[in-house]
Amino acid sequence: MSRARFGRVVLLAATASLVLGACAARTEDGGGDDQGSQPQASAPAQAANAADPAGDGNAQCDAGTKLAYAGTINGANAALGQNILNGVKVAIERHNSNNPNCQVELQEFETEGTPDRAPGIVTQIVNTQDIIGVVGLPFSGESKAAGNIFDDAGLVQLTPSATNPALSENGWKTFFRGLGNDNTQGPAAAQFITEELGAQTVCVVRDDSEYGIGLANSITEGLGDKASCQEEVKTKQTDFSAVVNSIKGENPDAIFFSGYYQEAAPFAQQLFDAGVEAQFVGPDGVKDDEFVKGAGDAAEGVYFTCPCVPADQFTEFNEGYEKQSGGKAPGTYSPEGYDLATILLKGIDSGVKDRAGMLEFVKNYEGQGLTKSFKWNEKGELAESTVWTYKVENGQIVRNTEIKPQG
Amino acid sequence: MSIHHHLSSLYLAQSDSLISFDVEGLVDQFWSNTVDGLAQGSIYALVALGYTLVYGVLKLINFAHSEVFIYGAYATWFTFYALGFRPGPTAELAIFELVGFLLLALLAAVLVSGATAVVLERVAYRPLRNRGAPRLVFLITAIGASFVLQQLIFIWRGGNPEQAIRLLRPEPVFEIFGASVTNITIVIVLASILLWLVADTFVNRTRFGRGIRAVAQDPDTATLMGVNKERVIMMTFLIGGLLAGAAALFYMMKIPQGAAYQGGFLLGIKAFTAAVLGGIGNLRGALLGGLLLGLMENYGQSLFGGEWRDVVAFVLLVLILMFRPTGILGESLGKARV
């Protein structure tokens, strides 16, 4: 541990104890559960130089220029895909209404979010010659299964949410990740759970997806000897009694569910019903209103970690989104979807006409978006990424704090 | 605690082992796993009865039965919704209200599932039967019907499960050997056994049940003896559907997130497994197979770890079929017996 890092840890510990002291003073029974009451961090304001798909309004492009969204729309964990798709649509709509001489068409492809469906759909996409850039695929499993097809066709693929670290290690020239991967989220989540929530023993429960396994490994490593137990569940499992019983036996301080909301909702409820009092923490794959509604009584007070930025302050985007989604507020990765679509649109506006040109454009792109500044390294990873925590309060997901990595 | 735990567990290989035997976990959680396994197993058993009855009479594996079940789950959800309940925290209800609402949901679920089963029989299977189609065609039709029924829900309600509505929160009522037994578990297990008893009595003791057994034994002779074969077949599908509807309500009480368009598939496969395990075509076998499967799944999972949950169920099936090819209790609907 470097001296600087040690200093920061001490400072953090001091701050934490102050905050805890304040909590204990406020609440009669200041028990362990109140440790998370860090003040809510304010949401980032929209950067003045954030890329705007509207541009200067004079863009020229061929009629029939197409971009595509590929991912779950109605399939498994559909809400996560719809959040992104609507974000993409906001960007396209804003671009087209401001640029009469450049009307970009968005094609939507339903992969159902599964590794077995995605390759077929992606083949269909790369065979549609007019498509010169793609926002997708949202999930890690399907990305792993179909990434080489994009690569073979030289078609740029900007993923707004697939966070499995290994995806960028395949040598795909066309893969670009629009957010931090789980090598960032895992340690950040570990830091949040052990320091901010003060958990000494943490049970890591993972599903059998590419994403769930990768993230579980990464957080388990980050937790070190505080990872007191590991459990596995299956995709589409609904009865978790055996896992719940075994966690009850372990009696951890916190539980991290490394998977998606479809399994997390019944799982959290069954834990709650069994009287397990450990703090439930889920990652980006769980952070959705579908989880809050699905978990019923168990949702209140659940924390999420997510390499996604709260959209609260992106007023203009939020208005556009609500118009696009029929009144729904932006969800997880909606602004990320918007940012990535904006980058592709900027490419078209700058005169890019084909896939090779788009690939070159994205590779060399450097610019500020709503969520962060974008510049990719040769593997398609961003230099800069952020992880936020969120919390369920009164049945709503609200932002909590940004996790600032140490050392 | 964790160190102690690791030491006392026998690992096949070092830290990265694929399979580990958590003997201590199995022993520690034996009774709670037993209680929960029985609840899940009761649901398997009720659904398994539908597979078993239809197989007994038609020698048809009705793969669409899992959708008959999930239609009941949707009926339950919509009944709750129509009664004014919304997703969110569990409602606080007086006991008579609760019982009334649950009975109403039960009625809706059995009607919807029963109707689905009968319509399925009319639309998908009867035309084939009338043309004397070979058995393989029935099987493919069953799989096709399963997909059609699934996709109908998908088109109508989309891929997200219905958001959980729950009327009754599980509360521990008493303990057996340290495992708490909740009100929901009690309701599910008792009601399932009661329903099984009713079905078993109906098939084995009533005049109509005799018709079912006669058709199962020898359809042509039964027809000659004046049994209305078509009516018997319809009735068989109806009973299977009604039981699946009841199972759907219990399932939704246990897992309020259960109404999903593909939500019946895996459960259907498990219930079918349970039916084969106990001896397909045998009502008692369905009950035994269901309960056994529910228990073994939980024991296996706590012994080998969660990823082996489904494997355990099917390895068990293979093992039992190796030694008893007709299942534990054998195929018996068609055999003449009291």
**What band does A45 get if pLDDT is binned at 50, 70 and 90?**
confident
Tell me the two tokens of residue B142: 């069953």
CA distance A303 to A309: 15
Given the cut 0.90, state whether the ipTM is greater than it.
no
Per CATH, which fold does B22-323 belong to? ABC transporter involved in vitamin B12 uptake, BtuC (1.10.3470)
Tell me the two tokens of residue B254: 């246990």
Amino acid at residue number A73: I
Q: Do B256 and A234 touch (CB under 8 A)?
A: no
User: So what's the pLDDT on residue B14?
Assistant: 40
Tell me the two tokens of residue A146: 């179909």
- Per-residue model confidence as pLDDT tens digits over B131-150: 999 989 999 999 999 999 99
Q: Chain A, 304-333: which have a CB under 8 Å from a chain B CB? A: none
Q: Are A189 and A405 a contacting pair, CB within 8 Å?
A: no
**What band does A404 get if pLDDT is binned at 50, 70 and 90?**
confident
* Residue B9 pLDDT > 50: no
* Residue B15 pLDDT > 50: no
Highest mean pLDDT among A37-46, A194-203, A396-405: A194-203
**What band does B19 get if pLDDT is binned at 50, 70 and 90?**
low
User: So what's the pLDDT on residue A384?
Assistant: 74
Q: Which residues from A are below 8 Å from B90, CB to CB?
A: 296-297
The CA-CA-CA angle for residues B62, B67, B69, to 5°, reads 100
Mind telling me how many Å the CA of A75 is from chain B's nearest CA? 5
Closest partner residue to B306 (CB to CB) among A243, A250, A290 is A243
Average pLDDT across chain B, whole number: 89
Average pLDDT across chain A, whole number: 88
- Per-residue model confidence as pLDDT tens digits over A214-256: 999 999 999 999 999 999 999 989 999 999 999 999 999 999 9
* Residue B24 pLDDT > 90: no
Q: Which residues from A are below 8 Å from B25, CB to CB?
A: 246, 249
Q: Which CATH number fits domain A66-181+311-374: 3.30.465.10, 3.30.930.10, 3.40.50.300, 3.40.50.2300?
A: 3.40.50.2300
By C-alpha distance, the chain B residue nearest A201 is: B2
* Residue B320 pLDDT > 90: no
More confident residue, A334 or A20: A334
**What band does B92 get if pLDDT is binned at 50, 70 and 90?**
confident
Q: Which residues from B are below 8 Å from A72, CB to CB?
A: 159
- Per-residue model confidence as pLDDT tens digits over A70-121: 999 987 788 899 999 999 999 999 999 999 999 999 999 999 888 999 999 9
**What band does A38 get if pLDDT is binned at 50, 70 and 90?**
low
* Residue A150 pLDDT > 90: yes
Q: Do A246 and B163 touch (CB under 8 A)?
A: no
- What's the whole-number mean pLDDT along residues B62-71? 96
- What's the whole-number mean pLDDT along residues B260-282? 91
* Residue A298 pLDDT > 90: yes
Mind telling me how many Å the CA of A18 is from chain B's nearest CA? 31
* Residue B210 pLDDT > 70: yes
Question: pLDDT above 70 covers what percent of chain B?
Answer: 92
Domain ranges of chain A: 1-37, 66-181+311-374, 182-306+387-403
Q: Are A391 and A401 a contacting pair, CB within 8 Å?
A: no
A262 touches B: beta carbon within 8 Å: yes
* Residue A162 pLDDT > 60: yes
CA distance B302 to A3: 45
CA distance B94 to B266: 35
Closest partner residue to A208 (CB to CB) among B32, B263, B307 is B307
User: So what's the pLDDT on residue A35?
Assistant: 45
What is the H or E stretch that residue B222 is in?
A: helix B219-224
Q: What is the 3-state secondary structure (H, E, C) of B119-178?
A: HHHHHHHHHHHHCCCCHHHHHHHHHHHHHHHHHHHHHHHCCCCCCCCCCCCCCEEEEECC
A301 touches B: beta carbon within 8 Å: no
CA distance B228 to B211: 8
Domain ranges of chain B: 22-323
A269 touches B: beta carbon within 8 Å: yes
* Residue A29 pLDDT > 50: no
Which value, in Å, is the radius of gyration of the alpha carbons in chain A?
A: 21
Q: Do B25 and A294 touch (CB under 8 A)?
A: no
User: So what's the pLDDT on residue A47?
Assistant: 84
- What's the whole-number mean pLDDT along residues B11-40? 76
CATH architecture, domain A182-306+387-403: 3-Layer(aba) Sandwich (3.40)
User: So what's the pLDDT on residue B74?
Assistant: 97
The residue behind tokens 């694929």 is: B18
Determine phi and psi for A228, rounding to 5 degrees: -85, -25
User: So what's the pLDDT on residue B312?
Assistant: 83
User: So what's the pLDDT on residue A128?
Assistant: 94
A249 touches B: beta carbon within 8 Å: yes
DSSP helix/strand/coil, B63: coil
A208 touches B: beta carbon within 8 Å: yes
* Residue B249 pLDDT > 90: yes
CA distance B309 to B296: 9
**What band does A33 get if pLDDT is binned at 50, 70 and 90?**
very low
**What band does B122 get if pLDDT is binned at 50, 70 and 90?**
very high
